[in-house]
């Protein structure tokens, strides 16, 4: 099918250094050191590790991230997730049991009722 992007998986045991850019979803089960800039979603699985900044539509963290994150729509830190860095997103979800050290900036628009 033309125009359909497939997901990319960085498998457990794989270590990548450098910058990752693209338009497909990305799942990290291994290690990444560097900058990640995607138009779609990034998932860091429970065994995944990222050291560097992440910019994506949404970011879900089940592993460990050391670096700042910018999510256009959402950043979610699951119960197994660990984040040391600042977060900027329209929605931020931090599950019970997650580790977070940093600052949060909510970038979403306020509804008329809350202004």
Q: Residue 66 above 50 pLDDT?
A: yes
Model pLDDT, residue 114:
44
Model pLDDT, residue 109:
59
Between CA 63 and CA 59 the distance in angstroms is 12
Between CA 98 and CA 101 the distance in angstroms is 10
Mean pLDDT of the 14-34 span: 96
Mean pLDDT of the 27-43 span: 97
Model pLDDT, residue 6:
75
> Which one, of 91, 95, 45, lies nearest residue 69 by Cα?
91
Between CA 58 and CA 81 the distance in angstroms is 15
Mean pLDDT of the 15-40 span: 96
């Amino acid at each position: 099918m033309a125009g359909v992007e497939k997901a990319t998986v960085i498998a457990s045991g794989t270590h990548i250094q450098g910058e990752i850019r693209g338009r497909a979803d990305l799942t990290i089960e291994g290690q990444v050191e560097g900058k990640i800039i995607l138009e779609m979603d990034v998932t860091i699985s429970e065994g995944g590790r990222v050291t560097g900044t992440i910019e994506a539509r949404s970011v879900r963290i089940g592993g460990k991230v050391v670096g700042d994150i910018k999510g256009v729509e959402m950043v979610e830190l699951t119960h197994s997730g660990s984040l040391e860095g600042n977060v900027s997103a329209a929605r931020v979800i931090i599950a019970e049991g997650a580790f977070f050290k940093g600052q949060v900036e909510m970038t979403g628009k306020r509804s008329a009722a809350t202004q």
